[in-house]
A and B are shown apart, each in its own frame.
Chain A
Amino acid sequence: MSGRHATVAELELYVLGALDADRIEAFEAHCAACDACAAALAGEASLEIAFEQVAKRAARVQVARPLRAVAYGAAGVVAMAAAVLLWIGHTPATGAAEGTAAVGHAPMDDGAILDARNDALDGG
């Protein structure tokens, strides 16, 4: 084995591709021969790859956000339409209108439904 052990900071910089050029040669020579440092380097490399999964997943969560806004917007329109219908209506034939009102009312006091919808989108 040659040279001193690698520090955590060095292992991290190495996988980031940012280790000082004049340290690289000694670092690689040591990690090629030292079991402990080789294992530590493997760990840092695994972490680096896991970050790509995290970035991918985070991007999916972000794509779903605008949909939430759209959902709220659409729900608002439905609620207004229902209100207008009820106001114009005043008729006993309210079965359909009540149904619409129930749907339209939901987003005003229950964001949980939209959260659930958003979660479903995130998961999908």
Chain B
Amino acid sequence: MKAIADVLPLLGAAAAPSAVVRVAHPPTRALPADEPALCAAALRGEREAWSALVQRHNHRVVVALLARGVRVDKAKDLAQEAWMRLVEQQRQGRLERLQLPGLAIAQATFLWLEFARRETAARRHETIDEPAIAAVLADPRADAESRLVTEERVECAVEVLSSCSDSARKVFRLAYGGDGLSHAEVAERVGLSLQRVRQILCEVRAKLRTALEGEEAT
């Protein structure tokens, strides 16, 4: 794995190196450019656009790996490596569409499964046929993580959510609706402070935790 310092020039973040080093934590200011424009610019190879997209989506990629049980240091390395691969694919003209964070998550998940396979093979001195790797190879956009929670619990959580206040539901929907909005952007849209938005998210989170974790909840 390359050190982060080696990755920086590749991601074109020379102007704001500290920003990429702390990529696990999105900036508190809202990004001005909208997602489609940024993706289009990134597909043309514009470094600033890549840098902004990494800033915007990297945390989500790291969280996806953490949810798979990857240690945080490894997760950050893998996420960084995944972005490098995407940039490399774009340079070689092998990237036609850019759907984020999905594509970066798929790339990072693939890297993780490959790593896990190598580790296992090294221990057993044999190759193994990991079905999960086969699935990712067959469809890199397969949303394997969506199987972490049962439908029943999601239904239950939706019920709980509907009992929350209108503003809480709106904040939740904006934050988790798949638009990749930062909390600052959510705050801007609903006209609340960033602090209040996070407070609301923590409150909703506490309510949904029981519904989603079922009997494991304390």
Interface residues of A (CB under 8 A from B): 12, 15-19, 21, 24, 28, 31-32, 38-39, 41-59, 61
Contact = CB atoms under 8 A, between A and B. Distances in A.
B208 A49 contact: no
Contacts of A21: 22, 25
A52 B72 contact: no
B169 interface: yes
Interface string B170-205: 001101111000110000000000000010011001
30 contacts: A16-B183, A16-B198, A16-B201, A16-B202, A17-B24, A17-B182, A17-B183, A18-B25, A18-B198, A28-B72, A31-B72, A32-B74, A41-B72, A42-B67, A42-B69, A45-B63, A45-B67, A49-B145, A50-B153, A51-B176, A51-B208, A52-B176, A52-B178, A54-B176, A54-B208, A55-B177, A55-B178, A56-B178, A61-B158, A61-B162
A57 B172 CA distance: 12
A58 B22 CA distance: 32
B73 A32 contact: yes
Nearest to A54: B157
A41 B63 CA distance: 9
B116 to A, nearest CB: 15
B5 to A, nearest CB: 16
Q: Would you call the interface of chain B mostly helix, strand, loop, or mixed?
A: helix
A41 B25 contact: no
Nearest to B157: A54
A102 to B, nearest CB: 33
A58 B162 contact: yes
A50 B214 CA distance: 13
B154 interface: yes
Interface in B6-55: 22, 24-26
Nearest 10 CB-CB pairs, A to B? Answer: A45-B66, A55-B176, A45-B67, A32-B73, A50-B149, A46-B67, A54-B157, A51-B176, A45-B63, A17-B59
Contacts of B155: 57
B178 A53 contact: no
Contact of B22 (A24, A32, A59): A24
A115 to B, nearest CB: 15
A56 to B, nearest CB: 7
B177 A32 contact: no
B67 A31 contact: no
A19 B157 contact: no
Contacts of B149: 46, 50, 53
A17 B212 contact: no
B158 to A, nearest CB: 5
B24 A24 contact: yes
A47 B209 CA distance: 7
A48 B212 CA distance: 10
Contacts of B198: 16, 18
